Amino acid sequence: PLPPLLFFEAVEQSPIAISITDARATILYVNRAFESLTGYARDELLGRNESLLSNNATPKSVYEQLWRTILARQTWSGTLVNRTKSGGDYLAELTITPVIDRDGDLKYFLGMHRDVTKVH
Ligand code: FAD
């Protein structure tokens, strides 16, 4: 059997920036890689919307398509320009997937992103 807390520790130590939000993208959890990539400490992120990472230059249509996809319970993947706490822009390869609970309700999203600035 898997040790208790293994899932937590595995996500916590993942080199991919991982967050869990409510259904409106309010941040409920971030892992360490999310903190180091964005430059924000956990306490500064919890309760805030993921939009705090937006560089405010991404066309609205991109977000509209993102939300249409994830509210239809599909996975969305794309590349956004994000801004760190210190103001540096980076290219984020982001995947957002809905988390359906045992009652069949969509209450959470799982977001995973990495910096692909150097790759492109
Ligand atoms: P807004 O004007 O608030 O939104 C732009 C458009 O998006 C709206 O016109 C509407 O069509 C749609 N929209 C926004 N919120 C909702 C909602 N609650 N329900 C339905 N439609 C909505 N954004 C980033 O820029 N970078 C990220 O790394 C990032 N990661 C995310 C991770 C997760 C798990 C989730 C769920 C969302 C993430 N987002 C991210 C999207 C973020 O929550 C915002 O929607 C986005 O940043 C636009 O915010 P805004 O305030 O600039 O624009």
Q: Which atom of ligand 1 lies closest to the CA of 67?
A: 21
Give the dihedral sign, CA 10/34/102/70.
negative
Q: What is the ipTM of this complex?
A: 0.96
Write the residue with the smallest CA distance to atom 32 of ligand 1: 111
Closest Cα partner for 117 from 46, 44, 55, 27? 55
Q: What pLDDT, in 10s, does the model give residues 80-119? A: 999 999 999 999 999 999 999 999 999 999 999 999 998 7
How far is C-alpha 22 from the chain's CA centre? 11
51 CA to centre of ligand 1 in angstroms = 6
6 CA to centre of ligand 1 in angstroms = 31
Annotated domain spans of the chain = 6-115
CATH class of 6-115: alpha beta
pLDDT of residue 120: 61
Q: What pLDDT, in 10s, does the model give residues 29-59? A: 999 999 999 999 999 999 999 999 999 889 9
Question: Can you tell me the distance from the alpha carbon of 109 to that of 72, in angstroms, rounded to the nearest whole number?
Answer: 12
Write the residue with the smallest CA distance to atom 10 of ligand 1: 64
Q: Which atom of ligand 1 lies closest to the CA of 113?
A: 28
Q: How many residues does the chain have?
A: 120
The residue ranges of DSSP E strands in the chain, in sequence order, are 17-22, 27-30, 76-83, 89-100, 106-115
Question: Can you tell me the distance from the alpha carbon of 55 to that of 44, in angstroms, rounded to the nearest whole number?
Answer: 17
Q: What is the pTM of this model?
A: 0.96
Question: Can you tell me the distance from the alpha carbon of 10 to that of 99, in angstroms, rounded to the nearest whole number?
Answer: 18
Token pair for 5:
């807390």
